[in-house]
Homo-oligomer: A and B are copies of this chain.
Amino acid sequence: MDAQNSFFKALQGISDPEEKREAITQTFYKDVFGKLVKQSGARHLLQGTILTDIDETVAGIKRQHNVFEQLGIDPQETFGYKIVEPLVQLRKDGVRKVAEALGLPVSIYKRMPFPGPALAARVIGEVTPAKIAVVRKATAIVEEMLARVSAFQYMAILHNDRVTGIREGKRDFGHQIELRCWDSIDARRAEPTNLPYELLVKLAHKITSDVPGVVSVTYNITAKPPSTMEAV
């Protein structure tokens, strides 16, 4: 189902992270999934909400898109269907253990987390189709070049700030991509992975060469806390 127009429309003009997350939540549960439910006659949505999603949302750190009951929202009343959450008592490491015990393949139970709001969580400021194209290209490079690194999660983030660069001896006021690569057990605490300097420099070279408009790449060196895993 191609729902990109609905999401881009909902995100237009919004730059506050929490407002962006709320716009994505409403668009998904009410509009995109709501329509599917009406068309199909389905009465339930089965989804993988985990304990950390609830903790962070209730504490007001980040509004995770998949949390409702704990915020006093009844999905049946609001969206017209029930939500079933079998993993709601587990954290990431617990989910992996259950998946392994159930005999799921390693590509599933060791799979890297990816945010509910997808690449919209990887764009600082307003989300537009052009910005998503930039961050998607950078993400593909990062995922390919770090595929053999055993980290909890790695990502590329497109900044809204622009910085001065040079291309062929001329000014190029361009974009900056921030890379994050985390070591973590359950996402509650995390440390930046000690990636080799040569790999970092190669990543920056590849991204500034292959992604149009990007003149600068940084690597995040902060722990969580006080950082969070995703910037948005």
A residues near B, CB below 8 A?
A: 17, 59-62, 124-125, 159-161, 163-167, 169-174, 178-179, 191-192, 194, 197, 200-201, 203-205, 208, 215-228, 230-232
Contact = CB atoms under 8 A, between A and B. Distances in A.
Contacts of A225: 165-167
B201 A227 contact: no
Given A161-B160, A171-B61, A204 B230 contact: no
A68 to B, nearest CB: 19
A170 B200 contact: no
A227 B215 contact: yes
A231 B175 CA distance: 11
Contact of A228 (B160, B165, B205, B224): B165
A59 B166 CA distance: 10
B169 A59 contact: yes
Given A221-B218, A227-B216, A230-B164, A61 B170 contact: yes
A221 B200 contact: yes
A226 B161 contact: no
Contact of A226 (B59, B172, B221): B172
Contacts of A60: 170-171
16 contacts: A59-B171, A61-B164, A62-B164, A62-B171, A163-B232, A165-B225, A165-B226, A166-B228, A167-B225, A179-B221, A201-B223, A215-B226, A215-B227, A216-B222, A217-B222, A218-B221
